[in-house]
């Protein structure tokens, strides 16, 4: 019997759509899903709905699925991260041969990916921890694919990944081999951290603008911005979201204001702390979601506060635009600095320009700004090293100051904009009050300090 070129384990929303994407590109495909409980008929239903695809074969027996694949076998796991991944890998190992390739396409923590990479390396099985972005639409029509782990393994699947990925602004595939071990999943984690802050910034703009503008007006502004340098996927869909109605009500007015999360944002925060990188905007956006979850407490405490008018009068839209542009640049800079530090710490030798390139198509954070980052990072280590980018922030500083003043005067929380401003001011201030902190630490703990009038390798203690 003819064998399949590729296999996919897990027929959830993403697994189903990636399967159709692969099959549509002409590859013979085997798919597997467990047949227990409410997943009893998943494979049969998938094949029935997509019976026009004659190059897809379905399995509910893992051994038969593995045997259906051409060697070296190449299979993508689209299952929940954590223990399910370890369980499936453990079941697969005795069924595989040397040189076969397992790809974890879920949002796994990069440290777990490193452990799995080492385990499978000892079995002479190639392993790829692969970050995938694009949601349901991208899975079906073109993804951004970030692979880490085995370079030899990547070469075996690169033709398939290139076929199912989106195209960047120059027509190239939005996929690449990121680096060894957990590099692919680390980069996807940071991608999601940037995404958290981008979403929060738009939510904060809505909070400001809705005091004097209706949804149609705000949507019109966002749509107009999306035609220029601020163009992004998230800006585009937010302009559409604001117009959706259910009867006489905007859907946004019917949605409970409790934002959920799946963990990758908090992983970015933790990793930034561990690596000593001030990833303040992702952190602000994560905690904004946490605060939103305390709905009962927020309602209770709000009843004890004298209400201020939230109406914002005659706020200059151009000032809003300028402040938004500043905050987005800082957000991207912080995320890329985290990747840079991880590359140094783990000896991954990551290419920032190539990473941002595959983020220009298919993924949730694709934007004109990301395209700008691609060209800047070919010449500079940091986007703030670029004079044009740096000077644009300098010009926008007054705008974000006005935005924050407006928020404070109307009692509107703007944690992400505040975070962007504070980071920018701190990073462009030559003398911070950290000398007081060092003195305090020396006073109560004799932790010592360095002096401005002595070489930096010397440390001093004062008998306070």
Task: Give me the mean pLDDT over the 159-177 stretch.
Answer: 96
Reported CATH class of domain 435-463 = mainly alpha
Domain 6-180 CATH assignment equals 3.40.50.720? yes
Percent of the chain with pLDDT over 90: 95
| Residue 310 in this model has a pLDDT that exceeds 80 | no
Give 307's pLDDT tier (boundaries 50, 70, 90).
confident
Residue carrying structure tokens 């452990």: 115
The pLDDT value recorded for residue 314 is 61
Q: CA dist 144 to 28, 140, 167, 188, Å? A: 22, 12, 9, 10
The pLDDT value recorded for residue 263 is 79
Q: Which region holds residue 107: left if phi is over 0, alpha if psi is between -120 and 50, else beta?
A: beta
Same fold, 6-180 and 435-463: no
Give 312's pLDDT tier (boundaries 50, 70, 90).
low
CA nearest to 327, candidates 366, 359, 369, 295? 369
The pLDDT value recorded for residue 2 is 85
For residue 85, how far is the Cα from the chain centroid?
21
Q: What is the CATH number of domain 189-335+376-428?
A: 1.10.1040.10
The pLDDT value recorded for residue 292 is 96
Q: How many whole angstroms separate alpha carbon 275 and alpha carbon 20?
A: 39
Q: How many whole angstroms separate alpha carbon 148 and alpha carbon 345?
A: 16
Give 289's pLDDT tier (boundaries 50, 70, 90).
very high
Task: Give me the mean pLDDT over the 26-31 stretch.
Answer: 97
The pLDDT value recorded for residue 1 is 60
β-bridge partners, 143: 165
Task: Give me the mean pLDDT over the 176-192 stretch.
Answer: 96
| Residue 16 in this model has a pLDDT that exceeds 90 | yes
| Residue 313 in this model has a pLDDT that exceeds 80 | no
The pLDDT value recorded for residue 311 is 64
Q: Where are the domains of the chain?
A: 6-180, 189-335+376-428, 435-463
The pLDDT value recorded for residue 44 is 95
Q: Going by C-beta distance under 8 Å and a sequence separation of 6 or more, which residues neighbour residue 418?
A: 284, 404
Query: Which tens digit of pLDDT belongs to each residue from 229-285?
Result: 999 999 999 999 999 999 999 999 999 999 988 778 899 999 999 999 999 999 999
* HEC per residue, 401-422: HHHHHHHHHCCCCCHHHHHHHH
Query: Which tens digit of pLDDT belongs to each residue from 61-75?
Result: 999 999 999 999 999
| Residue 94 in this model has a pLDDT that exceeds 80 | yes
Task: Give me the mean pLDDT over the 337-366 stretch.
Answer: 97
| Residue 309 in this model has a pLDDT that exceeds 80 | no
Where in the sequence numbering do the catalytic residues fall? 188, 195
């Amino acid at each position: 019997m003819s064998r399949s070129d590729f296999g996919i384990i897990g027929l959830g929303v993403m697994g189903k759509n990636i399967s159709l994407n692969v099959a549509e590109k002409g590859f013979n495909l085997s798919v597997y899903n467990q047949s227990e409980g409410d997943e009893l008929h998943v494979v049969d239903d998938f094949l029935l709905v997509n019976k026009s695809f004659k190059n897809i074969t379905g399995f509910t027996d893992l051994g038969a699925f593995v045997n259906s694949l051409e060697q070296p076998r190449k299979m993508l796991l689209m299952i929940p991260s954590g223990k399910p991944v370890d369980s499936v890998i453990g079941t697969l190992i005795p069924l595989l041969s040397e040189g076969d390739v397992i790809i974890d396409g879920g949002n796994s923590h990069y440290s777990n990916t490193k452990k799995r990479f080492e385990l499978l390396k000892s079995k002479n099985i190639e392993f790829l921890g692969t970050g995938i972005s694009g949601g349901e639409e991208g899975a079906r029509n073109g993804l951004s694919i970030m692979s880490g782990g085995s370079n030899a393994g990547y070469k075996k699947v690169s033709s398939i990944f290139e076929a199912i990925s989106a195209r960047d602004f120059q027509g190239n595939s939005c996929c690449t081999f990121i680096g060894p071990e957990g590099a692919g999943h680390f980069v996807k984690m940071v991608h999601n951290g940037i995404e958290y802050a981008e979403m929060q910034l738009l939510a904060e703009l809505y909070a400001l603008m809705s005091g004097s503008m209706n949804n149609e007006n705000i949507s019109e502004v966002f749509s107009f911005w999306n035609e220029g340098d601020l163009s992004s996927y998230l800006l585009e869909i937010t302009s559409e979201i604001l117009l959706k109605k259910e009867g006489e009500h905007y859907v946004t007015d019917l949605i409970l204001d409790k934002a959920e999360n799946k963990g990758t944002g908090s992983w970015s925060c933790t990793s930034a702390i561990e690596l000593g990188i001030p990833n303040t905007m992702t952190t602000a956006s994560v905690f904004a979601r946490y605060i939103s979850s305390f709905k009962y407490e927020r309602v209770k405490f709000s009843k004890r506060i004298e209400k201020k008018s939230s109406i914002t009068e005659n706020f200059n839209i151009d000032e809003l635009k300028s402040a938004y542009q500043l905050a987005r640049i800082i957000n991207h800079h912080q995320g890329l600095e985290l990747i840079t530090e991880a590359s140094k710490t783990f000896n991954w030798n990551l290419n920032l320009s190539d990473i941002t390139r595959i983020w220009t198509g298919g993924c949730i954070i694709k934007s004109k700004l990301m395209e700008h980052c691609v060209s800047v990072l070919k010449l500079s280590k940091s986007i703030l090293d670029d004079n044009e980018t740096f000077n644009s922030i300098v010009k926008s500083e007054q705008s974000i100051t006005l935005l924050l003043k407006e928020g404070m005067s109307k009692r509107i929380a703007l944690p992400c904009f505040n975070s962007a401003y504070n980071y920018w001011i701190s990073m462009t201030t030559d003398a911070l009050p950290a000398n007081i902190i060092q003195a305090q630490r020396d006073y109560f703990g004799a932790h010592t300090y360095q002096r401005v009038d002595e070489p930096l390798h010397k440390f001093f203690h004062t008998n306070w």
